[in-house]
Amino acid sequence: MGFIKKAMQSIYKWRLPGHTNSELAQADVIVALSFGGRVNGPGKSNVALARLTEDLSRRYNLPVIAQWEIAHSSLDLQDKLLHIVRKARNKQLGRLTKIIHTLTTKRVDEKDLGNYLDSYEVLMQAAEICLKQGLKKAIIVAHHDHLWRTSKIAEAVGFEPLHPFAQVTIYDEESVQKYTRSRWRFMMREIPNRLYHLICGLI
């Protein structure tokens, strides 16, 4: 895709069509990126992303790389997400010992809630883990309005990104990141953010 087309899409593209079940079934891994967060917990956007990640992991028997807010949400859920993902990892990846690789330099803890990594860093770390294992086709789980940029970054760092049909659209009015409290706020930040990534060659 050329620079001009990407620049235009940076302004108007907010919906990526989902891939078919047969296409998603060819994926090697799920990469899940967080969206906002609260001081006292991951917040409802990340809970929804964690549930979507869990559903995809169970449905397609895939390992997961998750940003820590989503990993934290998954650990709090009562439907055995860790057990399901552990089975998928042990079956498909062998030597990878963690159920969910948590993308943070510190242990997931209450005091860490509210900190975050930028999307490019998350996907770079995910690529470093996955590509050397031959895990190239990645289902990208991200908030609906965040998905275009995360998908383009994923492609730039070496993944073949796939998108689920179901996507999270929830905004959390209590998020510590003010721009993730409403769609209007996010879009006003996201458009220049996309253009910045494009100009810097990150997408």
pLDDT of residue 58: 87
Residue 36: per-residue pLDDT: 87
How many domains would you assign to the chain? 1
Range of the domain at 91: 3-199
Contact in structure between 28 and 140 (CB atoms under 8 Å): no
- Alpha-carbon gap, residue 123 to 121, rounded angstroms: 5
The per-residue b/e assignment along 70-99, b for 16 or more CB within 10 angstroms, e otherwise, is: bbbbbeeeeeebbebbebbbeeebeebeeb
62 contacts 99 by C-beta, under 8 angstroms: no
Q: What is the pLDDT of residue 74?
A: 65
Whole-number pLDDT of residue 104 = 40
Which helix (H) or strand (E) element contains residue 78? none
Q: What pLDDT is attached to residue 5? A: 85
What pLDDT does 57 receive?
A: 87
pLDDT in tens, the chain (203 residues): 788 888 888 888 888 889 999 999 999 999 999 898 888 888 999 999 999 998 998 899 888 888 878 887 765 333 333 222 222 223 333 333 333 344 443 343 444 433 446 788 888 888 888 998 899 999 999 999 999 999 999 999 999 999 999 999 999 999 998 999 999 999 999 999 999 888 888 88
pLDDT of residue 100: 37
> Which residue's structure tokens are 């997400």?
81
Q: What is the CATH number of the domain that holds 76?
A: 3.40.50
Contact 108, 72 (CB under 8 A): yes
